[in-house]
Chain A
Amino acid sequence: MATESFPLADATSDPLVGGGDTPPVEPGPGERKRLTKWQLYSRRFVRNRPAVAGIVIFVLLVAFALVGPLFAKYDHVELDFLALSDPPNPDHWFGTNNAGNDLYAMVVVGLQRSLLIAVVVATGTTILSAVIGTAAAYFGGRIERFALFVIHFLMVAPTFLLLAMMSNDSGGDWKVIALVLILVSWFFQARTIWTLSLSLREREYVHAARYMGVPGMRIVLRHLIPNIGSLLVINFTLGVVGAVMAETGLSFLGFGVKLPDVSLGSLIGIGASSMSSAPWMFYFPAAALTLLTVSMALVADGLRDALDPTSAAGGRA
């Protein structure tokens, strides 16, 4: 009660769990207020230089994946028998492999594939983890115990092995890979969300809604999930990184995307086998992949700084 705090110091309280994040100033018009909030976020984001670099790199990569094919002289499955294992040259910008595939075309397609899987998986895990995490925390009791049991079970379970088994069985269909990736990677975020929602569940506005007779699932959707919005945004970005890594790891081992379809992972797998004879086969996909993950991670970091100024570190805890 009546703790000494400066109204403006309140501005740094945690919007992640929906605290009072703006000072009790004399009200200004609502719309303008809302705009200021976004302005504040973007100002904080822009202040984080690496994050801006990250978003620029990411946008360039996406643009490359989308418009890259327009400039490709070859199709990624097309074989140029006159250019086997060629180093980068004006005709084959990124060189070719020993079968004569154009690496430029393959990297573009691989990037598309990896991005697509990553975005699908990140969307899926974010939604799944948000609903399960908040619902488990809100409803408590049996639902919570069951959800936690599943989460702990998945923590012990060798998910990568199950993933490899299932995706190998699918013959490298990216849709199956994405689905399985969602199934085995939602739980970690769900646990974080659950922990956070435990405190959210005790918020008085949640009690208030319950005592008004608002049905449970509606409270979860109307009150809990919107209030972890910024966390979900960050989770989504980190989910993209995680999914790219898992997918490329799988494809590298040969359990993921399979020829003729390519992903950055399978390209690196091919590159790895010819590292000393044709190193470019490794360099280009590896560079695209690393730029993708690192840029996205920088964006996530910037978002965290912008949306959640209380988090001092910005680690992936």
Chain B
Amino acid sequence: MSRYLLRRSAGWLLMVVAVTNLTYLLAWAYLDPRSNYVGRRPPLSEQQIVNLLEPRNLDDGTPLLERWWNWFSSILFRWDWGVSPTGQSVNDQVAYRMWISGELMLGATILLTVLGIALGVYSASRQYRLGDRVAQGTSIITMNIPIVVAALGIVLLAIAFNNAVGSTVFYVTGSSSPGVSGFLPTLLDSVQHIALPTAALVLVGYAQYHFLQRSLLLDNIKSDYVRMARAKGLTKAQAVRKHALRTSLIPVTTQVAFSIPAIFTGAVLTESIFAWKGMGQYFIETISKNDVNGVVAVAAFGAVMTAVGAILADIAVVVLDPRVRVS
């Protein structure tokens, strides 16, 4: 079993490496660090630009293969992800940004999964009754509100709320306030900052689990083994709780892993709206500044998140499903 997980993890790791390398090559096709310097005043000579870019491994005069090897070997041997066109270390940027984004994504993923599954169970057990219809109606709308609209709407609401209570309960920009110290104040401060972006991500994201869980549970409620459980003497509610729920959780778990890219995209947009200095904002910055190394680091971050999600899902499936455990 652990060998199975190890094998799966190795597979995902390979995938991440492949994706990162491919992104590196693609990034060079679409980003041009040289152009950052072309319009400069006073104009820089060709040689000056090369002198600036060459030591940063960003000079497109160097053959692509050589650039790639420089980049790849420095990651491989020194865990050095390179520098931006202005010489900032990518490692430094990512080191603090990844925690900011990680916190947001992890929190939102957990919340929206739990909320979605809970609502799915609620909905399925009240199929076609009022509660189910209202929940479904709400979910189909929230799921299809574009994240940008949702986040900006939440900003407007929060501002109105803050104005109404007369103090800043929710912060609409940044991930923390400067100068806060002490455990409790820091915690409270982060909650005040993280609440809104998380709410935006959860609002648009929970519904897919609501629908998935509902349909899987309903399928399982109709299954032969639930009927069998009822024939044994369990009430319908008991049979659903004991027999249908656990089986229906298995596919939901797998789904979580595959929705991480969507959450990442959502995080990019929310971070930009709430002015978080996380990976999402770095994503925008690096693309607009032709920061090849930075872009690749963002890609690697996204891929790693997906892989981690997938591995966690694999573990969950192994725990939940004896059929996998045996093979």
Contacts and interface: CB of A to CB of B under 8 A. Distances in A.
A269 to B, nearest CB: 8
Given A161-B283, A316-B208, A248 B148 contact: yes
A313 B149 contact: no
Contact of B148 (A50, A162, A265): A265
Contacts of A153: 15, 18-19
A244 interface: yes
A54 to B, nearest CB: 9
Interface stretch (B61-69, B214-222, B233-241): B214-222
A164 interface: yes
B147 A166 contact: no
A158 B144 contact: no
A315 B144 contact: no
| Residue in B143, B149, B272, B299 with the greatest tally of chain A CB atoms within 10 Å | B149
Interface in B122-162: 127, 136-137, 140-141, 143-149, 152-153, 155-156, 159
Chain A contact residues, majority secondary structure: helix
Interface residues of B, number: 57
B96 interface: no
A252 B299 contact: no
Contacts of A265: 148
B50 interface: no
Contacts of A249: 146-148, 265, 269
A317 B144 contact: no
Nearest to A160: B265
Which of B146, B152, B207, B298 is most buried by chain A, counting CB atoms within 10 A of its CB? B146
A8 interface: no
Contacts of A293: 144-146
B interface: dominant SS? helix
Contact of B208 (A166, A248, A298, A315): A315
A87 interface: no
A116 interface: no
A301 B261 CA distance: 24
Contacts of B273: 272
A157 B25 CA distance: 13
B218 A313 contact: yes
A268 B152 contact: yes
Given A164-B287, A297-B140, A244 B146 contact: yes
B113 to A, nearest CB: 14
Interface stretch (B51-59, B72-80, B302-310): B302-310
B23 interface: yes
A301 B210 CA distance: 14
A276 B155 CA distance: 10
A294 B215 CA distance: 21
B196 interface: no
Contacts of A282: 152
Give the residue among A158, A165, A268, A314 with the most B Cβ atoms within 10 A. A158
Nearest to A315: B211
A294 B140 CA distance: 7
Contacts of B215: 311-315, 317
Interface stretch (B26-34, B36-44, B97-105, B177-185): B26-34
A155 interface: yes
Interface string A147-176: 000001101111111101110110000000
B233 to A, nearest CB: 23
A67 interface: no
24 contacts: A153-B15, A155-B258, A155-B261, A156-B12, A156-B306, A156-B307, A158-B264, A158-B298, A161-B295, A162-B26, A168-B287, A245-B147, A249-B146, A252-B269, A268-B152, A271-B152, A276-B159, A279-B156, A293-B144, A293-B146, A294-B140, A314-B136, A315-B210, A317-B211
Given A165-B27, A271-B152, A290-B144, 11 more contacts: A50-B137, A153-B19, A158-B298, A249-B269, A254-B284, A268-B152, A269-B148, A275-B156, A315-B207, A316-B143, A317-B255
Interface of B: 12, 15-16, 18-19, 22-23, 26-27, 30-31, 127, 136-137, 140-141, 143-149, 152-153, 155-156, 159, 207-208, 210-212, 214-215, 218-219, 255, 258, 261, 264-265, 268-269, 272-273, 283-284, 287-288, 295, 298-299, 302-303, 306-307
